[in-house]
Amino acid sequence: MVYGGAMDRILLIAVIVSVAYFLLLSLPAVVMFGAAPSSSFFRIVASTATYATASSLIVLPVSFIVGFALAFRPSGSYMTPLILFSTAIPHTAIGILLAPIVFSLKITDTATSIVLGMFVVSLPIGVGVMRASFAAQGVELEEFLRSMGVRGMRLQWFYLRASPTSVLLAALLSWFRAFSELGVFLIVAQRPQTVGVYIFEEFLRSGPTAVVSASLVLLAVAMMLTLVTLVLERAGST
């Protein structure tokens, strides 16, 4: 744990590094291609954020239950690598695997297929964060609570109370993963347009100049979430 002034200094350094990272990535793009804003872009950002929020609201409780099982059930340690490696599967491949479900349910190019795609790609991240958080709290807490007659969902409620920072972190990471998705949507949900699809299509149609501003916005969102995460971690450590 880091307290007071030392933590504030670390936070300040994090802000400086985030801004420097942002500038380092964005300046060459701005210099080369300019930063032409698009009128429809912010509407797409808002709708993508809404889909990502809907997806995260489903991901969180599932992550909580699966993360708990992976952290404490005997077979959990065998399943953990599977969950982690599933984040590394190319997302176009996930889109192909989802295609039979999406096609048979006739939800291609709908908000439902977008939320489904977001759910599938962000679930491993949510589960991974929750599992790590539960594991850090230790099995002793569960053993103690069970010996005290606490069972079922009440057990998980105690873990939830003990790790609000991890829940928020899981929510943020899974939300941003969902927000950034492209590969799955290229296969099953190119419409309504999401941010990833928008950038991809605009790039193909008009070249890089048209999407510099969009990319910068995504970068800014990532930086903002990084800072929020740092602040949350600070809150959790003091």
Q: Which residues contact 70 (CB under 8 A, 6 or more apart)?
A: 76, 77, 79, 80, 83, 127, 131
CB 159 within 8 A of CB 9: no
Going from the C-alpha of 105 to that of each of 99, 113, 190, 226, the distances in angstroms are 10, 9, 16, 37
For residue 135, state whether it binds another protein (rule: CB under 8 A).
no
For residue 149, state whether it binds another protein (rule: CB under 8 A).
yes
CA dihedral 111, 62, 177, 87 (to 10 degrees): -120
For residue 146, state whether it binds another protein (rule: CB under 8 A).
yes
Q: Measure the CA–CA gap between 71 and 65, rounded to whole angstroms.
A: 10
How near is the Cβ of 162 to another protein at its closest, in Å?
4
For residue 151, state whether it binds another protein (rule: CB under 8 A).
yes
For residue 158, state whether it binds another protein (rule: CB under 8 A).
yes
For residue 138, state whether it binds another protein (rule: CB under 8 A).
yes
Q: Which residues contact 193 (CB under 8 A, 6 or more apart)?
A: 44, 47, 201
Which tokens belong to 81?
Answer: 């690598």
Interface segment toward another protein; rule CB under 8 A; list 30-38, 148-156, 178-186, 196-204? 148-156
Of 154 and 191, the one with the shorter C-beta distance to another protein is 154
How near is the Cβ of 157 to another protein at its closest, in Å?
10
Q: Determine which residue in the list 23, 144, 153, 220 makes contact with another protein, applying CB under 8 A.
A: 144
For residue 148, state whether it binds another protein (rule: CB under 8 A).
yes
Q: Which residues bind another protein (CB under 8 A)?
A: 138, 140-141, 143-144, 146-151, 158, 161-162
